[in-house]
Amino acid sequence: MEQIEIGASGLKTSRIGLGTWAIGGWMWGGSDENDAIATIRSAVERGITLIDTAPVYGFGHAEEIVGKALAGGLRDKVQIATKVGLAWKDGKVFRDSRPARLRQEIEDSLRRLKTDAIDLYQVHWPDLETPFEDTARVLAELKREGKIRAVGVSNYAPAQMDAFRAVTQLDAVQPPYNLFEREIEADVLPYAARTGLTVLSYGALCRGLLSGRMTATTTFEGDDLRKVDPKFTAPRFPHYLKAVEELKALAAARYGKSVLALALRWVLDQGPTIALWGARHPGQLDPVGEVDGFHIDADTKAEIDAILTRTVTAPISPAFMAPPVKRPPEAA
Q: What angle do CA 232, 238, 242 make, to 5 degrees?
A: 120
Q: Name 188's Cβ contacts closer than 8 Å, sequence gap at least 6.
A: 156, 157, 158, 173, 175, 199
Q: How far apart are CA 256 and CA 330, in angstroms?
A: 55
Q: How many CA atoms lie within 13 A of 71 on its CB side?
A: 12
191 is catalytic: no
Straight-line distance from the first to the last Cα atom of the chain, in angstroms, rounded to the nearest whole number:
46
Q: How far apart are CA 225 and CA 235, in angstroms?
A: 17
Sequential DSSP letters for 18-79: EE-HHHH-TTTT---HHHHHHHHHHHHHTT--EEE--TTTTTTHHHHHHHHHHTTTTGGGSE
Q: Name 118's Cβ contacts closer than 8 Å, sequence gap at least 6.
A: 80, 81, 82, 106, 109, 110, 147, 148, 149
Closest CA to 218 of 206, 205, 233: 233
Number of H helices, E strands in the chain: 10, 12
120, 150 contact by CB (below 8 A) = yes
22, 276 contact by CB (below 8 A) = no
Three-state secondary structure call for residue 133 = helix
Active site residues: 57
